[in-house]
Amino acid sequence: MTDRKSAGGGDGAEVEFSLIPHETLLALYDGLVKGKERRVTAKAAGGAQSWKYVAAAVAVAQDLIPGDTVLAERAVPALRQAKVATRGFAAELERAIGVALRDKTRKTAKATVVFAAGAAGEAWRDVLEVARAHRLPMVFVAELREENAATSRGDLEPGTELPRIAVDGHDAVASYRVAHEAIERARRDRGPTLMECTAFRVNGRSQQNSVAMMKAYLRAKGLLKG
């Protein structure tokens, strides 16, 4: 059922396979800095555990528009408009499916985004299958776990799979490329995408934080001084 790809790298090096406007790159950096600050503030205040891949959340936020629906299993400091499922994630997932089906029927070009930190099991697979089968305008952003993926189905017609893309969730540029494509795909009624976040590492190097990675990227492009 899945068509798996990967994007990004742990050392911040990027292969320019798509062009991102400079304004968007700078907005990503600004969002990263603010998102990190909000996460630290929330943690210091004793708040509940939050979504750890700030770069992925900032990337998704860039292409959201008023009227889009955002559901999160945990708080997403970098994405304040996200509705956190405090009374049962499974029930909220069903509601998100309903919203996406409504938007698809009405051809609103709105997207429904779901951030799932620890989702797994049959209920999660069922939601992915419903979204896939009905080509719902949804983007699922989850931590990379094998149990988060719906079981492969060999009887599906080519082109009906649920795209499953692994990305470095600490790399804002790589995450934006995936998120941009996924959200555009949803708006154009081409179905859902599963974006799985992980921390890519290069042998012998520790994982850089997202702000440092983005700063180095912008400096290399001459967009950031100092």
pLDDT in tens, 52-61: 899 999 999 9
Q: Has residue 226 been placed in a domain?
A: no
Q: Has residue 196 been placed in a domain?
A: yes
User: What integer pLDDT is reported at residue 199 of this predicted model?
Assistant: 86
User: What integer pLDDT is reported at residue 171 of this predicted model?
Assistant: 94
Q: Hey, what are 174's tokens?
A: 């790589």
CATH number of the domain encompassing residue 140 = 3.40.50.970
Q: Has residue 19 been placed in a domain?
A: yes
Q: Has residue 121 been placed in a domain?
A: yes
Name the residue with higher pLDDT: 192 or 44: 192
Name the residue with higher pLDDT: 87 or 94: 94
Q: Has residue 77 been placed in a domain?
A: yes
Q: Has residue 225 been placed in a domain?
A: no
pTM of the model: 0.82
CA–CA gap between residue 52 and residue 74 (Å, rounded): 9
User: What integer pLDDT is reported at residue 41 of this predicted model?
Assistant: 65
Nearest partner of 209 among 180, 176, 172, judged by Cα: 172
CA–CA gap between residue 97 and residue 154 (Å, rounded): 25
Question: With helix as H, strand as E and coil as C, how does 8-32 read?
Answer: CCCCCCCCCCCCCCHHHHHHHHHHH
Domain count, the chain: 1
- Average pLDDT rounded to a whole number, residues 78-86: 81
Domain, as residue range, for 74: 2-220
